[in-house]
Structure 1
Amino acid sequence: MKATILFIIFTPMLLFVSFQDETEIKQVELPVSNLAELREAVTKSNQVITLKPGNYIITELPEDARSFVCSGSNNIINLSGVYIDFPVGTCKDAHFNFTGSNNKLSGGVFEETYQNGMKEVTDFGSYNQNRKTLAKGLKGGAGFRLSGNGNTIEGIKLTVRGSFPYGYGNMYGIGRGNATGLDKRCAMLITGVGNTVDNCEFQHRAFGHVIYMQKNADKTVIKNTYIEGAVRPSNDTYKETNDGDLPKRFNYKMPLGAMKGLPIPKDVMFNLTEDGIRAYNIPGSVTVENCTVVKCRGGIKLYMAKGEVKVINSTVLDCVVEGYSLNNGGEMINCKGNAAYGPLIYMHFDKVSNQKIDLTVLPSPHAVGNHVFAAIKGTGHQIHIKRANFKGEIDNTLRPIVVGYPARFEFLTTDYPGVPKGYEENFEKHFGDKDYTAINITIKNDTEYPVILGAKSHDNHIKSVGIITDLNKSNSIKQIEN
């Protein structure tokens, strides 16, 4: 018999137990045949739980028992061949809440459905006036929560529906100080350590983040996953003419922020969801690999993470506010994307530094709006922007790569360094006295997009196929051939 040596290490907060040789935990096979049995099983540990394949509806359970609190640990939860319907308006809390650790949920299709059978929202005015079974939201926001450590969600498909307001992008607010009240509906919240999302699909048809990280999230891995939101033309809001419709209630004007009082912008896209993959002020690391994010507010938005950030072999398409946004030292390796409805690269913090970006631009002949291609500031970045191998125009507009800029995305347009017509007063009020610098940044631009170096940009090194404009005259620039 092999001898086992037990080491116990005490710290003020944690107890770690490790073994010299690998010791496998024996798991008991546990078949379950209904949702009630599944709900009970996931509160215990060391099991292989298999739910009988078939179609289920959460209303089979009592109203106060419609959340699966996975408080057990070391479980494998096999839901292959299982479909669970979560009708909007019938659930008070998260669908699956992983408070235990080292669990693996594998397989399963989870769909939030409207009780009237509707699949897609077309009448946004009447939708937002039905706060009971349509624009309902969800307590705590997220359908899946991973607060325990070392959990894996693998091979699921989740469709999210039902939020208020829905259909207007960020116009009515995204947090405190909103104009209408908020009832968000998100897909997955990660707050624990060492959690993994692998080979999943998220169809997000609600206002809220798809996958987001908060609190103590660390060592998060999101890979082989597809995320799709929805967008709609801003012009459609002017067709909402009933008294209860939100655009009419606010006289078709922007009610908040730097654009307050301006007319709802025309000929742009509104995102109907929030961000595809989002990190808030977390202490830890995030790795995103082989993922695709389509039609969200922000695509892969990790600028607030404090740990190591790597985005590898991933693609962002048709996002509205930004495609990628990294933190200090963040790396983007062999990634792709387009700037169809908003900038593909956007840097939030003024002093962000030392990003490494390797990005291939995909065509966007369907692009609308007067946004820029990229907004770059800070210090010490190494950026290579490449053109994918395709024939024809990369875009219907040659959007600038702006280096150093004094504005948020609403005012950062193809008019740069000018301000969009009609926006001058708002710009002066919010950004007229601010100067954002860009220093010691190296960019190689192999696309026809032009590069504009702002007045506060200096000591940068730019090689570009697209035309270079240096408003500071103190940068190293070189025009290169395609």
Structure 2
Amino acid sequence: MSTHKNAQVLLIICFILSLKVNAQIAVNSLSELVPYLSQDNVQVKMAPGVYSITAADVKNGLYSKSSFVGKECKVLLLFEGNNSTYDFSGVTIKVETKVFQSYGNIRINEIQIIGNNNILKNLTLIDDGSVYDGPTKGALNICMDGKENLVEGFYVAAKGSFPYGYGDAFGKGGKNVIRHQKHSSCLLRGESNHLKNSTFIHRSYGHCLFMQAASNPVIEGCYVEGEMRSTDNMLLEKGTGSPADKVDFMTVWGYQLPKGYMLSTGEAGIRAYNAGETIIDGKLYKRGTSNPTILNNTIKNMRTGVTLAHARGKKYVENCTVIGCENGFSLGSGDVINCRADCSYGPVYSSTYENDKSFNADITIIPASNIYMNGSGSVAYIGGREHNIILRGSDEGAKNGLKIQVGGEKNNIRLLHGNFPNQNDFKGSNFQLNNLTNYPIFLSKKSSDVQIKSVGTVKDLGTNNSH
């Protein structure tokens, strides 16, 4: 055979092998799926249908993978390979909430990715059971480690925590009046991981989307929905023997639960932390979150919409909408571009610490889709310095006495009676505020050198402010 023909044959063989390598693999059950989760360069398509993971499965020794990122954790579906795609179009996986107690005193992750360059798409992941089925140690629907992974097109219904229905009134881990069994939806860690175009219906006490030890994470096009409950409604449990009634409604803040506030039954919609552990290429890293990008998301009925105050580096938020949350945006520093929020239950923006610096924002205040129950009385609370803030849009809440506030007392439910003084009564100085609404502005005695342009009236108790 000639050299030319040998080369042709070799090319054909290589082409056939490449087709075999890249051919889509069809799986028809979870037991068929699991072996491919540790493989590289596979294209897996799961047959449409409803699949279940039950406490009985755990008892029978299935789903026994462990992840030792930080504290020991059991993982139901651990994606360990690299450069693979998993297509779950038309697939629903139901995880029985009783599974959360099945491993003993160990945390549970339903899905975790520790490989690199993987794509997981179009899965419906449902927690099946009671909202009160609290995990023994803690639960999480999705955890993203590794690098450059993409989770896209998911629908996640998170359920199962204890106590449920009070938000953080009786604790949130660490110091508690009622011992908590928390359950969050999605944790981004690792390097350059991307959560995209996914829906989270969050009915558990814990964060919905949060970041720890994440470098360059992107959260894009997601819809987050929790639920709210008034403190007035909680207090109606008096005499019922409920968890709150059993502690006489004494909050973790050191005083009885007050009336007049709305609380999310979950925690943050999108939140970044300044610590954490992650695994990339088999190596454990301990670090904070840096350079988060938050794009085109809607967050409804959570404790906060987008809170990135504890992240480092460039913090960028664009085209996000916050509806019916206790607080809209809190970045400390960074950019909020073309974003929207209502102030029905709390401010559209609140400074996190007195040393917040260089926050640049353009926020449109939108009409509320529910009654106003904003116990803080503020449209926005601004402390710190060197900001450039534009507020525009609806001012319908003005008739409820709401105002834009610079410095002074926040009147947040968690900060009453002198609680957490380091998070309250801030100074605000040397920044620009352009109020294009008719909301009044209140400049506290702790405000100074603030440059104000305002359609609404301005009450100034500070020093050297201009308006």
Query: Matches of 1:140 and 1:72 in 2, distance apart?
Result: 26
Name the structure 1 match of 2:345.
341
> CA separation of 1:191/1:138 partners in 2, compared to 1, >3 Å: closer, same or farther?
farther
Would the aligned equivalents of 1:363 and 1:395 in 2 still touch at CA under 8 Å? Answer: no
Matches within 5 A, 1:210-289: 210-215=208-213, 217-242=214-239, 244-254=241-251, 256-257=252-253, 260-261=254-255, 263-281=256-274, 282-289=288-295
> CA separation of 1:42/1:400 partners in 2, compared to 1, >3 Å: closer, same or farther?
same
Is 1:172 aligned to residue 170 of structure 2? yes
Name the structure 2 match of 1:366.
371
Using structure 2 for the length normalisation, give the TM-score.
Answer: 0.84
Corresponding residue pairs, total: 415
Is 1:316 aligned to residue 331 of structure 2? no
Unaligned runs of 5+ in 1: 1-22, 122-133, 413-422, 478-482
Bigger proportion of residues as helix = 2
User: Identity of aligned pairs, percent?
Assistant: 30
Query: Matches of 1:360 and 1:407 in 2, distance apart?
Result: 21
Is 1:384 aligned to residue 399 of structure 2? no
Bigger proportion of residues as strand = 2
Name the structure 2 match of 1:52.
47
Would the aligned equivalents of 1:165 and 1:182 in 2 still touch at CA under 8 Å? Answer: yes
Q: After alignment, is 400-409 or 157-166 more displaced?
A: 400-409
Query: Matches of 1:315 and 1:431 in 2, distance apart?
Result: 30
Amino acid of the residue matched to residue 413 of structure 2? E
Amino acid of the residue matched to residue 36 of structure 2? A
Would the aligned equivalents of 2:449 and 2:463 in 1 still touch at CA under 8 Å? Answer: no
Query: Matches of 1:278 and 1:252 in 2, distance apart?
Result: 28
Matches within 5 A, 1:172-211: 172-211=170-209
Would the aligned equivalents of 1:367 and 1:395 in 2 still touch at CA under 8 Å? Answer: no
Shift of 1:177: 0.9
Name the structure 1 match of 2:161.
163
Query: Matches of 1:81 and 1:432 in 2, distance apart?
Result: 50
2:90 pairs with 81, 98, 116, which one? 81
Using structure 1 for the length normalisation, give the TM-score.
Answer: 0.81
Name the structure 2 match of 1:325.
330
Shift of 1:435: 5.4
Query: Matches of 1:471 and 1:327 in 2, distance apart?
Result: 24
Is 1:150 aligned to residue 157 of structure 2? no
Shift of 1:432: 10
CA deviation profile, 1:414-446 (whole Å, cap 9, x unmatched):
xxxxxxxxx6xx23x754997522111101001
Shift of 1:398: 3.3
| 3-state DSSP of counterpart to 2:141 | strand
> CA separation of 1:445/1:24 partners in 2, compared to 1, >3 Å: closer, same or farther?
farther
Would the aligned equivalents of 2:191 and 2:217 in 1 still touch at CA under 8 Å? Answer: yes
> CA separation of 1:357/1:53 partners in 2, compared to 1, >3 Å: closer, same or farther?
same
Query: Matches of 1:462 and 1:301 in 2, distance apart?
Result: 25
> CA separation of 1:153/1:293 partners in 2, compared to 1, >3 Å: closer, same or farther?
same
Amino acid of the residue matched to residue 344 of structure 1? V
Query: Matches of 1:467 and 1:24 in 2, distance apart?
Result: 70
Name the structure 2 match of 1:31.
26
> CA separation of 1:381/1:475 partners in 2, compared to 1, >3 Å: closer, same or farther?
same
Amino acid of the residue matched to residue 47 of structure 1? V
Amino acid of the residue matched to residue 443 of structure 1? L
Amino acid of the residue matched to residue 310 of structure 1? Y
Name the structure 2 match of 1:40.
35
Unaligned runs of 5+ in 2: 1-17, 64-75, 275-287
Query: Matches of 1:242 and 1:470 in 2, distance apart?
Result: 47
CA deviation profile, 1:1-26 (whole Å, cap 9, x unmatched):
xxxxxxxxxxxxxxxxxxxxxx9996
> CA separation of 1:332/1:433 partners in 2, compared to 1, >3 Å: closer, same or farther?
closer
> CA separation of 1:451/1:270 partners in 2, compared to 1, >3 Å: closer, same or farther?
same
